[in-house]
């Protein structure tokens, strides 16, 4: 991918290219479909990017970068913003010096997610200005705009994109890279960065004043597109729905909003007054239509059945005519499955044979719920396997409690499992508990990203490595055991059975590289060994 | 305005569905059209069904092909034909591996490019843009085998009769 020419880019790649051109000093994030490619592409283009253990830490690191006066981009999937919500809600009270842009990649339709939450609710709840691009060109342009808004009003900005924008390729015309950004330097500004009540109270007033100014800017010169058509029907939409709507109703008048918080309510009111029927096309929750109604604008929304799943041209056509008859059910494709040779297969085989109650987690191994294994009983969010497993143990009758096992992947363990282990050590159930880390040496489900347990950075070069067994021992887990699943002299089933028989706290790590990652890991290890040898040689020569 | 051309490419994870749609989108882009390409790939590496839409023309709005509006349906795996058939419009063209003479394809991995060769006979994209787009998406050592695959699919389509959907 070149960086200056007109080209065909995915929305994710367009955000990465814009981050490069806008002078981002550091990009942070945690992998999550459909956001993962942004930081990978930014790194490949020469930007400095790093994976954090989770989204909360990623946002906190980025906030530090912004306080230091440099531009920074934080990327995550929609549910990642839940994890980062704690810093988010107070970061908006602070004054950032360098632009801080948070990318939330939502997944309406749940192509690869556990829910289809609509993160536009965060815009209002956390009081963060929000931009929603319709395609890759806007993803590129709005990333630039987000940095400009962030620095002009010293406020973090949310770039909300969805699966169809992230993973669709459309044509992008890049602009000239910025070159006149100041170098980071620390300046002490206690009242705008130390959020104790004495400073946070005026900060909240400042935040509301900033939003009022941004709303006025959005009215006057915000990214709003007006297509004047006939006056019988006016459609207001945002994000990907805007192109569906323009295709489904080419004769209508269309108002496409680029910044959806704070809204340009007077522009909307003027548009509403000029049309006979006003329809709001909102994908997901009725966020936009509810905001219009709260402002006293009589707008028609979509029937409830269209809250579920993605919108497309066919569904927008149905909304236009108020069709609520059952939709055609698309034929079911072949579901994904655990790869042949994947070590997770053996684990779920053993758990199934032992009749375990399995508290599961988020990752490839969630596929253990599907036949032929059907060996998972709960899956809610990153890290929940440990807490939920402990809860089950605390109240189930003893014969059932003894069969409860928490199963979590290596990347997920680093993301949100450490506090679960603390809980297990602090509040051990009477029957004890068994946590299994299925360590395949990568963040497999999102496409083989590194994490703090792999010993490699985002660009696969070597760094420090967390030891899961060392952590568990230091935290006071009673039994800590590692099984290399390739070692056929050990029966995994027997090891699990033994640990389940003890009324003690146990951590069992099964270790075998992901079959998709293994050749790559061998390549990285070889490269690291060669580079280490090279350094020794040059040191010898220098001596 | 010229009508937008709609192509749906489908198969199983690992078959090269997304590479094929990248090549097609790139070829149309190089030919000077507005292009949009859409895909869902979160689970594609785990062997499940995968499909990708490519639309090109003077101006493309939605990146997704509406059901029943595909001019061309390219399917890389026979088991995936029926579940994707509702995407085709009346008179649309189905292209699948059955089109190729048995045993003619030297390298199974170039099935996607061979079937793009067949697709090239029903689309208005000049041949030089096809080849440039295919090369841009493959390592150089794979160019020759894919040249042959593309020619094979193109010839098979020109010789045989392509099924139209009724």
Q: Inter-chain contact B61–A244, Cβ cutoff 8 Å?
A: yes
Tokens of A240: 């990907």
A45 min Cα distance to partner chain B (Å): 17
From first to last of its 543 residues, chain A has per-residue pLDDT tens of 667 899 999 999 999 999 999 999 999 999 999 999 999 999 999 999 999 999 999 999 999 999 999 999 999 999 999 999 999 999 999 999 999 999 999 999 998 899 999 999 999 999 999 999 999 999 999 999 999 999 999 999 999 999 999 999 999 999 999 999 999 999 999 999 999 999 999 999 999 999 999 999 999 999 999 999 999 999 999 999 999 999 999 999 999 999 999 999 999 999 999 999 999 999 999 999 999 999 999 999 999 999 999 999 999 999 999 999 999 888 888 888 899 899 999 999 999 999 999 999 999 999 999 989 999 999 999 999 999 999 999 999 999 999 999 999 999 999 999 999 999 999 999 999 999 999 999 999 999 999 999 999 999 999 999 999 999 999 999 999 999 999 999 999 999 999 999 999 999 999 999 999 999 999 999 999 998 887 655 444 444
> CB atoms < 10 A from the CB of B89, how many?
17
| Shortest CA distance from A163: residue in chain B | B40
Mutate which of B27, B33, B46 to test chain A, going by most A C-beta atoms within 10 A? Answer: B46
User: Could you tell me if A286 and A396 lie in one domain?
Assistant: no
Instruction: Give the per-residue pLDDT at A337.
Output: 85
Task: Please check whether residue A297 lies inside any domain of the structure.
Answer: yes
Instruction: Point out the residue among B42, B48, B64 whose CB comes nearest to the CB of A334.
Output: B48
For residue A357, give the nearest of A395, A317, A389 by alpha carbon. Answer: A389
Q: Inter-chain contact B35–A170, Cβ cutoff 8 Å?
A: yes
Residues of A with CB under 8 A from a CB of B: 7-8, 33-34, 111-113, 135, 163-164, 167-171, 240, 243-244, 246-247, 312-314, 328, 330-339, 364, 367, 447, 516
| Shortest CA distance from B35: residue in chain A | A170
Instruction: Point out the residue among A171, A243, A333 whose CB comes nearest to the CB of B62.
Output: A243
User: Could you tell me if A357 and A465 lie in one domain?
Assistant: yes
Q: Which residues pair with A435 in a beta bridge?
A: A406, A507
pLDDT digits (tens, 9 = 90+) for B18-65: 999 999 999 999 999 999 999 876 555 567 889 999 999 999 999 999
Signed CA dihedral, A355, A361, A365, A369: sign only: positive
Q: Which residues of chain B neighbour A135 with C-beta distances below 8 Å?
A: 36, 63
Q: Inter-chain contact B63–A314, Cβ cutoff 8 Å?
A: no
CATH number at residue A134: 3.40.50.970
In A177-258, which ranges are E strands?
A: 224-227, 230-238, 252-257
Q: Number of A to B CB contacts under 8 A, please give it.
A: 102
Task: Please check whether residue A162 lies inside any domain of the structure.
Answer: yes
Distances (CA, A) of B159 to A7, B49, B131: 35, 30, 21
* pLDDT band at residue B163 using 50, 70 and 90 as cut-offs: low
Q: Which residues pair with A446 in a beta bridge?
A: none
- In contact, A179 and A22? CB cutoff 8 Å: no
- How many whole angstroms separate alpha carbon B10 and alpha carbon B17? 6
Separation of CA A509 from chain center: 26
Mutate which of A78, A79, A167 to test chain B, going by most B C-beta atoms within 10 A? Answer: A167
- CATH fold group of domain B5-158: Pyruvate-ferredoxin Oxidoreductase; domain 3 (3.40.920)
A52 three-state secondary structure = coil
- Got the DSSP string for A513-540? --TTTHHHHHHHHHHHHHHHHHHHHHHH
User: Could you tell me if A385 and A425 lie in one domain?
Assistant: yes
| Shortest CA distance from A367: residue in chain B | B46
> Per-domain residue ranges for chain B?
5-158
CB-count burial class (<10 Å; 0-12, 13-18, 19+) for A254: buried
Q: Inter-chain contact B66–A313, Cβ cutoff 8 Å?
A: yes
Instruction: Point out the residue among A312, A332, A516 whose CB comes nearest to the CB of B62.
Output: A312
Count of structural domains, chain A: 3
Task: Please check whether residue A534 lies inside any domain of the structure.
Answer: no
Tokens of B144: 């020759």
| Chain A contacts in chain B segment 100-129 (CB below 8 A) | none
User: Could you tell me if A506 and A396 lie in one domain?
Assistant: yes
User: Could you tell me if A206 and A239 lie in one domain?
Assistant: no
A168 min Cα distance to partner chain B (Å): 4
A107: containing domain: 7-179+191-221
Is the pLDDT score of B135 beyond 80?
yes
Q: Inter-chain contact A168–B37, Cβ cutoff 8 Å?
A: yes
- How many whole angstroms separate alpha carbon A12 and alpha carbon B68? 29
Q: How many CA atoms lie within 13 A of B22 on its CB side?
A: 14
Q: Inter-chain contact A8–B37, Cβ cutoff 8 Å?
A: yes
User: Could you tell me if A197 and A278 lie in one domain?
Assistant: no
User: Could you tell me if A353 and A426 lie in one domain?
Assistant: yes
Contact B38/A at CB under 8 A: yes
Task: Please check whether residue A536 lies inside any domain of the structure.
Answer: no
Q: Inter-chain contact B61–A246, Cβ cutoff 8 Å?
A: yes
Task: Please check whether residue A506 lies inside any domain of the structure.
Answer: yes
Q: Which residues of chain A neighbour B63 with C-beta distances below 8 Å?
A: 135, 164, 168-170, 240, 243
- Got the DSSP string for A348-417? HHHHHHTT-EEE--SSGGGGGGSTTT----B--STTHHHHHHHHHHHHS-HHHHTTEEEEEEHHHHHHHT
> CB atoms < 10 A from the CB of A277, how many?
13
Q: How many CA atoms lie within 13 A of B37 on its CB side?
A: 24
Q: Which residues of chain A neighbour B56 with C-beta distances below 8 Å?
A: none
Q: Which residues of chain B neighbour A333 with C-beta distances below 8 Å?
A: 48-49, 51, 80, 83
User: Could you tell me if A348 and A231 lie in one domain?
Assistant: no
Contact B35/A at CB under 8 A: yes
Q: Which residues contact B38 (CB under 8 A, 6 or more apart)?
A: A164, A167, A168, A169, B52, B53, B63, B64, B65
| Shortest CA distance from A444: residue in chain B | B45
Contact B134/A at CB under 8 A: no
User: Could you tell me if A441 and A502 lie in one domain?
Assistant: yes
Whether the model clears a pTM of 0.80, i.e. scores above it, the answer is yes
ipTM beyond cut 0.90 = yes
User: Could you tell me if A286 and A359 lie in one domain?
Assistant: no
**CA torsion angle A182 A184 A190 A192 (round to 10):** 50
| Shortest CA distance from A331: residue in chain B | B83
User: SS3 sequence, B89-119?
Assistant: EEEEEEECHHHCCCCCCCCHHHHHHHHHHHH
Instruction: Point out the residue among B29, B38, B48 whose CB comes nearest to the CB of A171.
Output: B29
- How many whole angstroms separate alpha carbon A363 and alpha carbon A343? 14
Instruction: Point out the residue among A113, A168, A516 whose CB comes nearest to the CB of B63.
Output: A168
User: Could you tell me if A305 and A349 lie in one domain?
Assistant: no
Task: Please check whether residue A2 lies inside any domain of the structure.
Answer: no
Task: Please check whether residue A333 lies inside any domain of the structure.
Answer: no
| Shortest CA distance from A137: residue in chain B | B36
Task: Please check whether residue A151 lies inside any domain of the structure.
Answer: yes
Instruction: Give the per-residue pLDDT at B94.
Output: 96
């Amino acid at each position: 991918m070149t960086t200056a020419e007109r080209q065909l880019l995915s929305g994710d790649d367009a955000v990465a290219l814009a981050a490069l051109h806008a002078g981002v000093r550091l990009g942070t994030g945690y992998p999550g479909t459909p956001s993962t490619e942004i930081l990978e592409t930014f790194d490949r283009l020469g930007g400095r990017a790093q994976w954090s253990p989770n989204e909360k830490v990623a946002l906190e690191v980025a906030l530090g970068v912004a306080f230091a006066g440099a531009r920074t981009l934080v990327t995550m999937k929609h549910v990642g913003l839940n994890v980062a919500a704690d810093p988010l809600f107070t970061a908006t009270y602070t004054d950032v010096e360098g632009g801080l842009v948070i990318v939330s990649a939502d997944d309406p339709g749940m192509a690869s997610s556990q829910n289809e939450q609509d993160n536009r609710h965060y815009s209002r709840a956390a009081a963060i200005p929000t931009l929603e691009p319709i395609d890759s060109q806007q993803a590129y342009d709005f990333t630039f705009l987000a940095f400009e808004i962030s620095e002009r009003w010293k406020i973090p900005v949310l770039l909300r994109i969805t699966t169809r924008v992230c993973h669709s390729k459309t044509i992008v015309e890049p602009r000239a890279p910025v070159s006149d950004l100041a170098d980071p330097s620390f300046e002490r500004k206690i009242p705008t960065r130390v959020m104790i009540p004495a400073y946070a109270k005026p900060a909240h007033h400042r935040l509301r004043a900033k939003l009022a100014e941004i709303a006025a800017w959005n009215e006057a010169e915000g990214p709003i597109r007006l297509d004047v058509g006939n006056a019988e029907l006016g459609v207001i939409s945002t994000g990907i729905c805007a192109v569906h709507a323009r295709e489904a109703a080419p004769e209508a008048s269309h108002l496409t909003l680029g910044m959806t918080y704070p809204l340009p309510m007077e522009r909307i009111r003027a548009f509403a007054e000029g049309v006979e029927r006003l329809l709001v096309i909102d994908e997901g929750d009725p966020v936009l239509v509810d905001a219009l109604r709260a402002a006293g604008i009589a707008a028609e929304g979509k029937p409830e059945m269209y809250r579920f799943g993605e919108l497309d041209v066919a569904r927008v056509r149905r909304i236009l005519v108020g069709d609520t008859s059952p939709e055609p059910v698309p034929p079911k494709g072949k579901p994904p499955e655990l790869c042949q040779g994947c070590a997770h297969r053996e684990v779920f085989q053993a758990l199934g044979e032992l009749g375990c109650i399995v508290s599961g987690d988020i990752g490839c191994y969630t596929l253990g719920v599907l036949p032929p294994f059907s060996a998972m009983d709960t899956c809610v969010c990153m890290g929940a396997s440990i807490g939920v497993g402990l809860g089950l143990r605390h109240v189930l009758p003893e014969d059932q409690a003894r069969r409860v096992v928490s199963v979590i992947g290596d990347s997920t363990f680093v993301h949100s499992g450490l506090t679960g282990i603390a809980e297990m050590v602090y509040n051990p159930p009477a029957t004890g508990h068994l946590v299994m880390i299925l360590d395949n040496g990568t963040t497999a489900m999102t496409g083989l990203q590194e994490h703090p347990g792999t010993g490699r950075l985002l660009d696969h070069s070597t760094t420090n490595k967390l030891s899961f067994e060392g952590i568990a021992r230091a935290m006071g887990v009673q039994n800590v055991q590692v099984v290399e699943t390739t070692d056929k002299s050990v029966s995994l089933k027997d090891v699990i059975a033994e640990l389940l028989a003890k009324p003690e706290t146990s951590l069992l790590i099964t270790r075998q590289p992901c079959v998709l990652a293994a050749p790559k890991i061998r390549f990285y290890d070889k490269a690291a060994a060669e580079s280490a040898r090279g350094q020794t040689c040059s040191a010898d020569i220098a001596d | 305005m010229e009508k937008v051309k709609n192509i749906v490419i489908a198969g199983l994870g690992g078959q090269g569905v997304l590479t094929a749609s990248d090549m097609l989108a790139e070829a149309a882009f190089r030919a000077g059209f507005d292009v949009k390409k859409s895909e869902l790939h979160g689970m594609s590496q785990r062997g499940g069904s995968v499909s990708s839409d490519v639309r090109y023309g003077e101006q493309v709005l939605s990146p997704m092909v509406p059901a029943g509006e595909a001019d061309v349906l390219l399917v890389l795996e026979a088991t995936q034909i029926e579940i994707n058939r509702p995407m085709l419009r009346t008179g649309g063209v189905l292209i699948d591996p059955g089109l190729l003479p048995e045993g003619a394809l030297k390298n199974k991995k170039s099935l996607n490019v061979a079937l793009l060769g067949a697709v090239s006979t029903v689309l208005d994209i000049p041949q030089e843009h096809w080849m440039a787009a295919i090369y841009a998406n493959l390592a150089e050592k794979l160019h020759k085998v894919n040249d042959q695959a593309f020619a094979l699919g193109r010839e098979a389509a020109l010789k045989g009769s392509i099924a139209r959907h009724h």
